[in-house]
Each structure stands twice: as structure tokens, then as C-alpha cells.
Chains A and B, each alone.
Chain A
Amino acid sequence: MTPPNGSSGVITPPGTPSRNGHHTVQEVESITIRFAGDSGDGMQLAGTQFTNTSALLGNDIATFPDFPAEIRAPAGTLPGVSGFQVHFSSTDIHTPGDVLNALVVMNPAALKTNLKDLEPGGYLIVNGDAFGVSDLDKARYKVSPLDDGSLKNYRVVRVSIGKLTREAVAECKLSPREADRCKNFFALGLVYWMYERPLETTLKWIRDKFGKNPQFVDANSRALKAGYNYGETVELLPVQYKVAKAKIAPGTYRKITGNEALALGLVAASMKAKKTLVFSGYPITPASSVLEQLADMKRFGVKTLQAEDEIAAAGVAIGASFGGAIGVTATSGPGICLKSEAIGLAVMTELPLVILDIQRGGPSTGLPTKTEQADLLQAMFGRNGECPAAIIAPQSPSDCFDIALEAVRIATRFMCPVFLLSDGYIANGAEPWKVPAVANLPNLEVKNITEPNGAGWGGAAHENGAGDAAKYLPYKRDELLARPWALPGTPGLEHRIGGIEKQDVTGNINYDPENHEHMVRTRAQKIENIALTIPDLDVIGPADADLLVIGWGGTHGTITTAIERARRKGQKVAQAHFRYLNPMPKNTAEVLARFKKILVPELNSGQLLWLLRAKFLAPAQGLNKIQGRPFLVSEIESAIDGMLK
């Protein structure tokens, strides 16, 4: 018997007796499994439950939910397939895994669209009830793949999931349709047995979720247990697999997705800053869940508004910042297009604004539920005039928490819009997150000006008018060129701002040619000055590496894993990951100059590459994938091999 291979390695030899003594238990380092079915089959739910259970068991986890943009494409068809991939491990992992060790498919369509990712010899758990003539027809199979020998390279486990589920819930007085909806719990129970996972977490979840409908609690619990018991009773597999707890740093952990972490980070930031968080958004995939979560956090002083459109969402956030709150809006690429004019106003009026761009495939409506990193240049340049804004990007779901605080810090310290470029992969993916100690969170307290700032105030580096000691000068700047933030309601500081070019220092309307050039350059320099407050670009790996791999955003985990493998092969590869894209860290030029070969993998046609070449004349090469899907580790590995040939 060969153990699941791919990324996992056998730790204990086969032969350890199972609890009931009839089959063996093998301990493996890690497993990647995917649940796939119709978008009505509850696959996202099954995957999430499996993730939660594995996280609570102490495994490291990484997930990749992948679902169609249609809410319910016709049942059983290829476009309607929804999948949820979980990678759980006893070691530190960074990706949801390239290759599946096991695949659960609820129908032929799910089989057809997912089989290519299953490793040879991998377990294929098939809901055998769903392979009738019409099911096969909907998935465009002429003959059943279960019968034509095409699956001979896999270990096919055929289970009548539909029939067994109906039998398990027979006493619950459900309609046939309701009974069928419990199938996902049966499948989940089966998989729990395969990987020796306890049922308690999910049973509790079922009780909490369906508490008001006791028959649903009963039915789903029975289906889950029936799946588990079926696996054990019929000795479904000759072997069970066990993944030990991961050795991770001590602390309190919870599972978190990127969008959850953004919501928590924003609220924590507002509390540290002692400012109201005003969040305004317009529903858009994959950003909506940030608004959904914040809307339910009213006791934390959060105010949320579901705006009438993307433009309004930006306007509300900027208006709130003018009023002294932390104005935040979240959207995806198409929404950024609509917000552009308002963001230009925030640049001109120099007000804090946090813009979360949860990127998806574009252009236009593009691929609403699929990931891409193609809004970098839009964030960089997508506005009229010379209109620089800060840009930062989280590198993982849990990093979203820290980077949300950083976005608020930059926006309030520098009085500027900050783009936070997350993506669909980070937003929906989950990983364990070490809950931070509140005392260790950065101090984000903001000092609003309460007195006139004429003579003697701040650095006044760019003064061109006579200072008036008794006056509030809204565009008199401090040593980093940030302007003072005076809040409406403060006596004596009444002032007017707007989108027309400002006179230096006074902020009055001004059309002088020299003043315009001075202000354009000053706004740009202010954004450059952010670099004085951020960490240097960290280079991980040997100083004399033959190759530097540079990434940004959600590709971090995959690149890291690929480099770890390259090093195990003896290749000398270093890694640098940009969390700060505008401005870039101070040492960027120096880092780039140190390496002869530079590889920049991106889920776009080369946007960071374009910036690095343009700004630093760096001889970097791109590895570009534009398929709405994250990189596989193997893809980056082979690009590294290619560069080192």
C-alpha cells in the first residue's frame, strides 16, 4: 500500500492497528482534500466544518474555496460545481496544496471538473447514487466513468451517499428534499472517519445553527454520525490517516479568513485610534463580507452604511473622515473604477481614507468569484492628474489584521488615501491566526489640531505665504509634509476644502502655474515620505543567492513553499515580498541591485514587474498566470528551475 504522496510524507510505517483493530492507521505529515459538488450541495459548509475541526485539533490549515459566480446554476451541470479545498498539516504550511490526496465528488459534473487535481493513487470518494443517465448527460459523459475504466489510477470508493443519508434521517419527518440536503453532512462524517477527526465541533455547530428547528438538528447530526459510522462499520478503507498536531508557537489561536481579519483589524484600529469607524460599502464579490461583518459590530462603536452605489460609498467614507472619523470603504476592481473620482478628491483635500480592494479577475465584470492581482496599476495610476496614493497588500489571511491597522496608521499619519490590495484568494481562504495581545497592538492615537497653527507650528517645510499666528492654515505641513487635521465643530478653525487646486499653506483656491507644480510635487513627496516610517524590504535567504524571487500580496505562501523546496534541492534562492507597494521600502533599489537574476511571479501580466523595471531599471523577469486561480507551488518551482539552468 502506497501512502498518499505529493506534499505529504509518511511518518509512521503502516501497520499500527486502528481502534477497532480491523485496519491500520498511518500517520502522515499533511493531507489535502477537496469537497466538490453542486452549488446547492453544501460543499462550502462541509469544507468549512472540516477546516474548523482540523484547526481546533491543532493542525496548521490553509483553505481554498472555489465557487461559481452563479448562486445556483442548474443542478448537476458543469458550471454549477462548487469546491472547497483544505490542506491540513502537522507542520507549518503556506498554501492550500497543489495536488489532492483525496477528492469527494457528489455528482459526475464535480468529478469531471476536479479529477485533474487528484494525485495518482489518491482516494476518490464518489456519491454513487448520482451517476444515473441524466446525471451523466448533464456532465456530458457518454458512458459512466465509474464503469469505463478511466478511473483505474485512483482508489475509487463508491458510496450511496444519497440513499444512506435518506435512510439515516428516515425518522426525522423531513420532506425528501430536506432529507437530501443532509447529504453533505454524511459525506463530511465519512471524511471525518477517514482522517480520525472528532465530530463534536460540527455537532455543536449544528445545534447552534439549527437550534430553532429541532428536526434539522436531529437530521443533520444523524447524517454526520451515519457517515462516520458507515466508514468504520464497512471498513471503507484498509487504512485511516492521521495528521498530528502542528508544532506551532504557543498562544491562543482561532481560524480566520482574510475578510474576517480585515474587519477585526479595522475595528481594533479604530479603538486604538480612539476614533469612530465609519464604513460604507456597496455589495460586490468578494468584498461584501467585510461590510456584512462590520454591520454586526455595532457595540464596538462601528457605523456602517450600505450605500446606493460605489461612488456614494466612497463619498460617505471621505465625508466621515472630514468629520473626524476613520472613513473606510471596501470594494473590488469594478468598484474602484467608480470610486476613482472620489479618491482623487481625498488626495486633493488630503483626508485620511482606507480603500479595501479585494481584487478579482477583470476587466469589467470579469471573473467575480475568481482571484487575480491585476488592480495594482489601477491603484497606482487610475485617476486623473498626478494623483498618488499609498498602496499596501496583505500576504495572507491572518496578515490582513495587521495590515488593516497599518492602513489606518498611514491614512491618519499622512492624511492620504491608502489602498489595501487584498484578493479573492486571501479574502475567502482561512488559516490559523494567533490572537494578538492587545497591549502589543500599535498605538494609533491621532492628535487633531485644536488651536491655530500660524507661527511656530510644525515644520512648515513648504511655506510660501506669510504665516498668521491667529489663523488655522489647513495646508501648512509638518516635517513629513502631512497637513493638520482640524475637525468641524472646533471653534476658531473654520475652513473650507475642496477639489480645486489649493494654494500652498492657506488651502485657498489657487490657479497659479508655479503653485500647481509645487503642490503636485508636494503631494507626491508626502507619499514618498511614508517610506521613512515603514520597515526595509526583508530578504530571506543566502546573501549570495543566484536568484531573488519577488512577490506581493496573496502569492506569498505559494512562493515561500516553492523556495523552501528549491532550497531543499540545493538551489540558492532568496525571497523578498512587498507588503508596501507605494511607496516601496527605502532599500528596494539596493536589494534589486544585489541579485543578477530576479523572478517576479504575479497573477497578472506583470504589473509589479512593470513598476520595478520602470522605477529601478531592474532586469527582472515575470512569471505570470491569468487564469483566475492561484499559482501552484510546482509552477513557481519550475520557473525557478528554469531561471537557474
Chain B
Amino acid sequence: MSASATALPTLSTKDLSSDQEVRWCPGCGDYSILAQMKKALTTVGVPREKMAFVSGIGCSSRFPYYMNTYGFHTIHGRAPTFATGLRLANPDLQVWVVTGDGDGLSIGGNHTIHLLRRNVDVKVLLFNNEIYGLTKGQYSPTSRPGTKTKTSPVGSVESPIRPLTIALAAEATFVARTIDVDVQHLVAILQRAAAHKGTAFVEIYQNCKIFNDGVFEYATDKSVKAEHVLYLEHGKPMIFGKDRNKGIRLNGLKPEVVEIGKDCGPDDLLIHDETLSEPTLANLLSRMVNPEFPEVVGVLRAVRKPTYEELMDKQAADAVAKKGPGKIEDLFKAEDTWTVE
């Protein structure tokens, strides 16, 4: 056993790398997410044996094999359920769920919602590339209308799911978005997610080089991204644009893009508050979609509510306080008994 397995807090990214060969396609956005994940975890103060990665099925779900932690590659869409069971069995573990848009929102949409509403202390990373990669290029629940794929040869006619809107509707206590190639931002968001107590939901825009290359180019191309991405900062006005002269103002119940100095002054802009108990504002932000709006990245919502595990523990403690810890003998006396001599 190497010293680094237990020593704190000197994990290196190498300590977190497993001996398995990484088999994603060259140029896949997953490589960056894996690298930033390791970087982020060197700072969170959790020894690697207390970390567990749980995944479903899909390209992203191979993630656990590449981390030198405990890992469980499960079945399609169901990772949230295994992660919940793992937390119940072992509340000392920091549990991460790695999932994709097909895995987490299509076959596993139900489980994602229930994990979030229970507020189990699990961090969910949803790699969103708006495509099914491992099954070779079919449209996914996040694909935009008109997306042409093998199963939508003349364009998808389905309305896409907005992952952050779903998460907020499911009462998620931590909701954030980041981008695979925006490495500093990605690390920072992963660290925030690690520190959150409760379910953290992070959507990561991720490029699929093979089947959906460039779908997020508007948000990653340095020449245009400033016009299309709004970096949320708690307590700060919502400003974006190459010249930092655009912002978001609330007009009635609708957000609108305004030009500072022309349409309004800086004081008229929306101020971001990730701690609001009502997720209404976060919901509006989650529904801002390119090209009409800049798309937000950063933490949309971060509130503290009792976790599922805390509430369960409290019920158990109350039951023990009321009647004492149960012994096997007590089991048998719950009903009337009689004795035969």
C-alpha cells in the first residue's frame, strides 16, 4: 500500500490515475474532463479510497475505469440508483456519478429526477454532447430540433430537454454548467460540486469529435464565445460580450439582452444570486438558449437543505432514543407471545 493512499492532502493527479488504458476517441472532450477531474480532486481533501465513481452506459460512463479510486460501471441510466445505495451503505464516501445526455436524461431520466429530489449527497456530472456516441451517432434527448442523425435522417422533430431546467424542477440544491475545454472554469466548478452537501448537478458541454463535432463551437471558439457565453458570478451583474457591454435585464417575467449605455445603465442589470431559496431566477437562466441569448455557465443555484442521508440518520437516531437500540431478542417480542410448557 503506497503512502499516498492515506496521506492528506498530498494527492497528485498521478495518484488518481488507474493503470487502465484510456480508450476514448482522439480529440474527445472526455480527456479534458478526466484531466480536470483529477486536478480538482487533488485539492478537495478526500483520500482516494474514500472516493467512488459510479456510471451507467455510454462513452462518458467508462470514466470510472480511468480513476484510481473505487469505481462501479453499472447499467444504462441507473447509476443514480447504485450511487444512492452506496451512500446508504457507506456515508463516508464521496460519490460521483458520471453520466451522459442519453444515459442520464433518456433511459435514466427518472432516476436522475429522483436522486435530485431526495437530495442524496452525490455529485452528478452530466456530459452533454447532444448525441449518442457509443451506439454510433443517433440523436439524443438534448439534440436540437432538426438535428440530422442516422435515426433522424431528415432532422429530429423532438423538443430537446434542457438538463438544468429539469434539475431545477426536481428541486436540485446545486446546479451548474461548465465546458470541457474551459479548463480553469471546469476545475473550479468541480471543486464547488465536491464541496456541496447534497446532490450537485453539473452539466458539462462536451464535444463529440466523431458524431457531433463542433456542436458547442459558439461557446468554445475564442473568436465568438464572449458573445455567446455569460459567466455567472454570485453577487455580480450579468454582463457578457467581447466589450463587456451587454447584459441581461428582466422585463416583466422575461429576461432580455440589453446593451449597457444604450438600452440601460449597469444598475438595471440582473444581479446573480445563487443562494435564492426559490429557483425562479435560476430557472430563467437555465432556459436562455443560443442564439437568442448567451448561454450561462457557472453556478446557477447553490442552497443548503438537509440531505437524504441526514434525514434518514435523524429518524434512526430518534427511533433509538425512543426505544433504545434494537436487539435480536426484541424482534421476536413485537407481537403477543405464549409459552408452551
Contact = CB atoms under 8 A, between A and B. Distances in A.
Q: Do A and B come from one complex?
A: yes
A492 B5 contact: yes
A323 B5 contact: no
A55 interface: yes
B336 A56 contact: yes
Given A315-B85, A323-B89, A491 B340 contact: no
B74 A315 contact: yes
A226 interface: no
A254 B323 contact: no
B278 interface: no
Interface stretch (A102-110, A245-253, A561-569, A615-623): A245-253
B88 A278 contact: yes
Nearest to A508: B20
A441 interface: yes
Nearest to B91: A323
A369 interface: no
A272 B329 CA distance: 12
Contacts of A315: 74-75, 78, 80-82, 84-85, 111
Interface in A236-270: 248-256, 260, 264, 267-268
B11 to A, nearest CB: 12
Interface string A313-343: 1111111111111010000000000000110
Interface stretch (A188-196, A301-309, A412-420): A301-309
Query: Which of A52, A313, A320, A498 has most B Cβ within 10 Å?
Result: A498
Given A267-B331, A299-B324, A493-B49, A320 B85 contact: yes
Nearest to A472: B1
B326 A301 contact: yes
Contacts of B55: 498
B89 A320 contact: yes
A93 interface: no
A4 B284 CA distance: 77
Given A276-B89, A308-B111, A312-B78, A489 B340 contact: no
A490 B5 CA distance: 10
B1 A491 contact: yes
A509 interface: yes
A519 interface: no
Contact of B85 (A264, A272, A323): A323
Contact of A251 (B88, B326, B339): B339
B340 A319 contact: no
Contacts of B225: none
B88 A316 contact: yes
A312 B337 CA distance: 37
B88 A298 contact: no
Query: Which of B72, B324, B341 has most A Cβ within 10 Å?
Result: B72
A441 B113 CA distance: 42
A299 B323 contact: yes
B45 to A, nearest CB: 15
Interface residues of B, number: 66
Size category of the binding interface on chain A: 35 or more
Query: Which of A305, A436, A508 has most B Cβ within 10 Å?
Result: A305
Given A252-B337, A315-B82, A491-B1, A322 B72 contact: yes
Interface in A166-218: 201
Contacts of B327: 271
Given A250-B341, A492-B1, A499 B75 contact: yes
Contact of A297 (B18, B68, B326): B326
Contacts of B279: none
Nearest to B326: A300
B92 interface: yes
Interface string B289-333: 000000000000000000000001001101110111111111110
Query: Which of A52, A251, A316, A441 has most B Cβ within 10 Å?
Result: A316
Contacts of B88: 276, 278, 303, 305, 316, 319-320, 323, 325
A459 interface: no
A493 B1 CA distance: 8
Contacts of A251: 339-340
A308 B114 contact: yes
Query: Which of A267, A268, A300 has most B Cβ within 10 Å?
Result: A300
A319 B336 contact: no
A314 B328 CA distance: 26
Contacts of B89: 276, 278, 319-325, 327
Contact of B82 (A248, A252, A318, A487): A318
B100 interface: no
A342 to B, nearest CB: 6
A508 B65 CA distance: 9
A251 B113 CA distance: 51
A91 to B, nearest CB: 14
Contacts of B37: none
Nearest to B113: A308
A319 B84 contact: yes
A260 B72 CA distance: 33
Given A303-B312, A499-B75, A312 B114 contact: yes
B315 A298 contact: yes
A499 B74 contact: yes
B312 A488 contact: no
Contacts of A308: 110-111, 113-114
A435 interface: yes
A436 to B, nearest CB: 8
Interface in B131-148: none
Given A322-B85, A491-B1, A254 B70 contact: no
Query: Which of B47, B84, B341 has most A Cβ within 10 Å?
Result: B84
Interface in B34-53: 47-50, 52
A297 B324 CA distance: 12
A278 B72 contact: no
Contact of B319 (A267, A298, A305, A487): A298
Given A252-B332, A323-B86, A452-B1, 15 more contacts: A253-B338, A254-B332, A254-B335, A260-B335, A299-B323, A299-B324, A300-B326, A300-B330, A315-B80, A316-B84, A319-B72, A441-B328, A493-B49, A494-B69, A496-B18
16 contacts: A250-B339, A252-B332, A253-B337, A267-B328, A280-B85, A300-B326, A301-B326, A312-B114, A320-B88, A323-B90, A325-B90, A327-B85, A441-B328, A491-B1, A491-B47, A492-B5
Interface of B: 1-2, 5-6, 18, 20, 47-50, 52, 54-55, 64-65, 67-75, 78, 80-90, 92-93, 110-111, 113-114, 312, 315-316, 318-320, 322-332, 335-341
- Ranked nearest first, the 7 interchain pairs of A and B with the lowest CB-CB distance are A319-B85, A498-B73, A315-B81, A323-B89, A492-B1, A319-B82, A300-B326
Interface of A: 52, 55-56, 58, 201, 248-256, 260, 264, 267-268, 271-272, 276, 278, 280, 297-301, 303, 305, 307-309, 311-325, 327, 341-342, 344-345, 349, 435-436, 438, 441, 452, 470, 487-500, 508-509
